[in-house]
Amino acid sequence: MATARHFHAQGWNVIATMRSPRSGPLLESDRLRLIQLDVTDPDSIDAAVAAAGPIDALVNNAGIGLVGVFEATSMDRTRELFDTNTFGVMAMTRAVIPQMRARRSGVVVSVTSSVTLAAMPLAAVYTASKAAIEGFSGSLALELGHFDVRVKLVEPGYGPTTRFTANGQERMDGMFPPAYQEFSEPVLTEFAQPAAVTYETDVADAVYRAANDTTDRLRFPAGDDAVALAGEV
């Protein structure tokens, strides 16, 4: 939401998407439209891309969070994360490439996570789903660069104040078995009292900078914690 508002404030025409659009989160205007999109549904993707019209910048921001012990993570839960965090990004990107390639212009910005910058405990599946997009984007940047289409990554740090964190709570039930209590409790305590956090505006700013960057730079950490992990302090 912050990203949509930031681009709109800079004069862009914005197509904001939600799985279940509702009034209130965004004030629509002549330069901001809200449409339905489920990145795990091919028909929804086709309909959204058709409704949007020409796309100059695609921001892949749909994501599912998960913290928990890998041994306690079912394969169904693992596939759920990859369906959105990995395959959803790939599907949306593939849907817009033809028009960008034909125009020889455009940019794809995918939002991953600071978990790709350093190994973190209790985040094995989530890290894997995001790290896949890092590798995907690096290769794709070379592939699409031939057609003057840019590919960028934004790597947000830990954002405990956002709905992203709250939305993942139910998914984490049963993810901390007793055998791991001694290990997991100190980690969860540290998560609850982070030394630095990332805010929505940090991510919005990084996405905007990435979308407008015309250099070969691929990665844009967002938030003080992510910037520190990336070694940019």
- What's the pLDDT tens digit per position in 64-103? 999 999 999 999 999 999 999 999 999 999 999 999 999 9
Question: Does the domain formed by 2-229 have CATH 3.10.180.10?
Answer: no
Three-class secondary structure of residue 221 per DSSP: strand
* pLDDT band of 24, cuts 50, 70, 90: low
So what's the pLDDT on residue 233? Answer: 47
Q: Mean pLDDT throughout 169-194?
A: 82
Query: Do the bridges between strand 107-111 and strand 150-156 make them parallel or antiparallel, or are there none, so unpaired?
Result: parallel
* Residue 126 annotated in active site: yes
What pLDDT band is residue 167 in, cutting at 50, 70 and 90? low
222 and 196 Cβ atoms separated by less than 8 Å: no
Question: What is the rounded radius of gyration, in angstroms, for the C-alpha atoms of the chain?
Answer: 18
Among the listed residues 126, 158, 180, 208, the single catalytic one is 126
Predicted structure pTM score: 0.90
What lies within 8 Å, CB to CB, of 121 at 6+ separation is: 183, 184, 187
124-145 helix and 89-103 helix, angle to the nearest 10 degrees: 10
- Mean pLDDT over all residues of the chain? 90
**Portion of the chain with pLDDT greater than 90, in percent:** 71
How far is Cα 37 from Cα 45, in angstroms, rounded to an integer? 6
The residue with tokens 């520190």 is 228
Residue 203 neighbours by CB under 8 Å, 6+ apart: 2, 3, 111, 154, 156, 159, 222, 223
Among 31-35, 51-55, 193-197, the range with the most confident prediction by mean pLDDT is 51-55
Closest alpha carbon to 2 in 222, 170, 224, 233: 222
Instruction: Say how far apart CA 118 and CA 208 lie, in whole Å.
Output: 24
Mean of the pLDDT values across residues 122-129? 96
